[in-house]
Amino acid sequence: MAPRIHALPRIRCLLAGAARPCRRLVFAVIVVALTQVLEARQDPHDLKAWMTAVRDHTPGNSDEPVARIATWSERELLDAIRRLPPARDADTLQLVKRALVLHTDIAVLRHRVAGYDLPPMPGATTVVGDGLRVGESAGTYHWEVARKLATALVDADPLGRDGAIAARAWFRAGAAILQRWGEYPELNVQLDRGASVLGADVILLLYEGTKHQDYASPTIQAYIERERGAAGAQRARPGLAMAARPSRPDSRLPGTVIDERSLAETAFRSAITRDPGLVEARIRLGHVLGDRGEHADAVRELRHALGGSLGSFLDYYASLVLGREEQALGHADLAVAAYQHAAVRYPKAQSPRLALSQLALLRADRGDVHLPLLEILRPRPDGGDDPWWEILRVHEPSAETLLGAMRRAFTQ
């Protein structure tokens, strides 16, 4: 504890008449006292405090380190991490990876429907529901702090070993989370920075294409058309999101349906060129081609994808779209088989049964119309399970799977 002020005159008196050894002792006392005063006044938001929180945080838990660092300003965080040495040694590399977990957890654990329970960033994003503007929400700078940490990993590891591998895992997990939420202003930054730091990454290309799929969806296009019509010569509002199923294109206003589907196709083809085994990109490419009326090409891509072993989600997705495309080509029996396969994959899902009923109605098979509809109307205590409604926001592996894998890998 610092010395009391009334003791200073006594020290001055001692200095006046003290012998040299005594003066040295007094000087030492003064130095200690001043050090204590400076430490008492030291800003608690420094590198040491940040490192302590990083090391103390338990991944996935909304613990005390999360609560503490969540209150820091962006400037305080950036000032702290700017003092970190390059992540070339094992200890610093591990510290930065743990820091990525902490800041990602802060964003994930403090995420709410209307934004984040965190100090807001400047500006706001328009929230859109059913093609209408229904509110605004703010983002968080913890994503940008994490991006700077991930970039530092690559800068310190130009040969692409442990640091670059960790950065790639983080960029992918973060992008999957943001796409899951439909938080597109932040996702756009994530994808752009990932491409700049990592180069063309097949998974980020997959997410890029899926984003453009969503931009071409009726909900977002309805909002865009309404804004353009209302604004006239003025520019449309920057940023938008969806309330029930969030989609947040940023100030780069999405283009027309034709433009967005073309961008989606380009991204998916680029991903497939780099990794022909990336089956989800092929399924989504088939979906986009079908939306553009290129049904035969869509069927070719979808059957290619279904020729391998698929997980439940991708098998269901590919089968539903294949049924639609075969139906468009007039291949009713093939369409029925595809829809039935999708129904087996997700027995509680409504979409394949609705498709089967519609197809039966078109074929004037009234007996087949009623059975699928009766199955849909049967009460279900869990409300059903149909991935189709979130097909433009989910992937396989899921965002939750990627986040869990990153937490484990970065904190071993």
Question: Burial level of 315, CB count in 10 A (0-12/13-18/19+)?
Answer: buried
Q: Answer for the pair 300, 317: CB distance below 8 angstroms, yes or no.
A: no
Per-residue DSSP letters for 87-116?
A: TTSHHHHHHHHHHHHHHHHHHHHTEETTEE
Query: CB–CB of 287/281 below 8 Å?
Result: no
Question: For residue 342, is pLDDT > 70?
Answer: yes
Q: Which residues contact 136 (CB under 8 A, 6 or more apart)?
A: 124, 125, 126, 127
pLDDT mean over 244-248: 40
State residue 87's pLDDT score. Answer: 82
Angle between helices 399-410 and 90-109 (to 10 degrees): 150
Residue type, 294: E
Per DSSP bridges, beta strands 241-242 and 132-137 are unpaired
Listed by start position, the domains of the chain span: 5-41, 45-255, 269-398
Span 3-8, mean pLDDT?
A: 42
pTM (predicted TM-score): 0.82
Looking at residue 224, what is its pLDDT?
83
Of 114-128, 276-290, 392-406, the poorest mean pLDDT is in 114-128
Reading the block at residue 121, the tokens are 């960033």
Q: Tell me the pLDDT of the chain averaged across its residues.
A: 83
If you ran DSSP here, which 8-state letter would residue 57 be given? Answer: P
Domain 269-398, second-level architecture? Alpha Horseshoe (1.25)
Tokens of 228: 């353009």
Q: Answer whether residue 221 shows pLDDT above 60.
A: yes
Q: Which residue has the higher pLDDT, 20 or 299?
A: 299
List, for residues 33-53, the tens digit of each pLDDT value. 544 544 444 456 789 999 999
> What pLDDT, on a 0 to 100 scale, did the predictor assign at position 187?
95
